[in-house]
Structure 1
Amino acid sequence: MSPFFTFLLHLSVLAYALVGGVFLAFSDFIMRSLALTTGTGGAEAMQAINREVFRWVFMTLFLGMAAISAILVGYSVTRLTAPGNLLILLAGLVYLLGSFGVTVVFNVPMNTALADMDPSQAATQDYWVGTYLPRWTFWNSVRTLACTLAAALLLAGLYRTLQPPPT
């Protein structure tokens, strides 16, 4: 394995963990805190968060890791017999499906629906409490687990690739 690719794997472990950490914060305490707000506070705060998430740091990591995951999958598919490459392949797939895919299929549509709502309306509060909070948080927890698993798989794959061959 080239030194560049080895370095990319090291950075990818860290990036998977960082993205997973953001998701963990939401599942662990941010969404619960927003649920405790009174009136329109929670839905309104989440609308603001969803607008601000497009800042370059998080989106660079999140989208960049989708692209890098595709590269990891492609690289590993062509070298499955090499030590650790199956784990690297699985790490890329777990991130692509469990983090990026879940975001596109579940979380983003709920964010879009919430963005179009007026927080002062009863229908928005019904959606916020009855649909958005439980479903968004569930799928966000799936993303957290996927990022954690991807980081662990990639770390194990990297470790395996760097082991000297048996003598």
Structure 2
Amino acid sequence: MASVFPVLAFLAVLATALNAGLFFIFSVCIMAAFARLPPAEGAAAMNAINAVIQNPWFFSAFFGGALLSLALAVIGFMQGGSGGMSAAAGGIVFLAAVIGVTIVVNVPLNDALAAAPVGSPEQAALWQRYLAVWTMWNHVRTFGSLAATGLFALTFRQGVPFG
């Protein structure tokens, strides 16, 4: 188990860093740009992104990060030590702050936006709420991904789940 542990940690660093970068660019650029558009255009642009992001590249990083986080959390708890605990913490942070927030907040907001009648007052009102709420929770995903990346980097640096 010890020989696979650093490999899993390294792959988790890559996956969580990819997620952090994606979420960061939404938080600091994309959502601010969309907020400058009329509501129907901003909503249409976001709906287009939500459709095209469902691809093998994104799924590999997102769900790969989740699987690696789960594996490292379990192995880390089982093995203990500082490497094991940093692995477990990284896994828990990613699963809660990224996967949990995505499932509980961001996806339902995406679904509501997609279902809103185009150009309607309901869509315009939803869009204003969406910009604030979705972006705030995206910040949580950004920081959660960064924290998990840091914890997995510490895990990788230690090389084994013991000690």
TM-score calculated relative to the size of structure 1: 0.91
For 1:11 and 1:67, how far apart are their aligned partners in 2? 11
The 3 A distance-change label for structure 1 pair 153 and 39 is closer
Shift of 1:15: 1.1
More helix by share: 2
Q: Which amino acid aligns with 2:3?
A: P
The equivalent residue for 1:152 is 150
Report the CA distance between 1:6 and its aligned residue: 1.4
1:43-66 per-position Cα deviation (integer Å, ceiling 9, x unaligned) = 011111111111110112101211
Give, in whole Å, the separation in 2 of the partners of 1:133 and 1:7.
38
In the alignment, the residues of structure 2 paired with residue 61 and residue 123 of structure 1 have an alpha-carbon distance, to the nearest angstrom, of: 34
Identity of aligned residues (%): 35
Corresponding residue for residue 62 of structure 1: 62
Say how many residue pairs are matched: 162
Aligned-pair Cα RMSD in Å: 1.6
Structure 2 residue aligned with 1:138: 136
Question: The residue matched to 1:84 in structure 2 has which SS?
Answer: helix
Amino acid in structure 2 at the alignment position of 1:86: M
Unpaired segments ≥5 residues, structure 1: none
- 2:47 corresponds in structure 1 to 47
Q: Distance in 2 between matches of 1:25 and 1:61?
A: 16
Q: Which has the larger radius of gyration?
A: 1
Distance 1:63 1:117 in 2: 28
Q: Is the CA contact 1:85–1:161 (under 8 Å) kept in the aligned structure 2?
A: no
Could you tell me which residue of structure 1 aligns to residue 22 of structure 2?
22
Contact residue 15 and residue 64 of structure 2 kept, 8 A: no
Give the corresponding residue for 2:112.
Answer: 113
* TM-score in terms of structure 2 length: 0.93
Unaligned 5+ runs, structure 2: none
- 1:39 deviation in Å? 4.8
Residues 13 and 154, structure 1, Cα contact 8 Å, conserved in 2: yes
* Equivalent position of 1:92 in the other structure: 91
Separation in 2, partners of 1:154, 1:48? 33
Read off the aligned partner of 1:112 and give its amino acid letter.
D
Contact 1:83 1:161 in 2 (8 A): no
- Between the aligned partners of 1:104 and 1:17, the Cα distance in structure 2 is 20
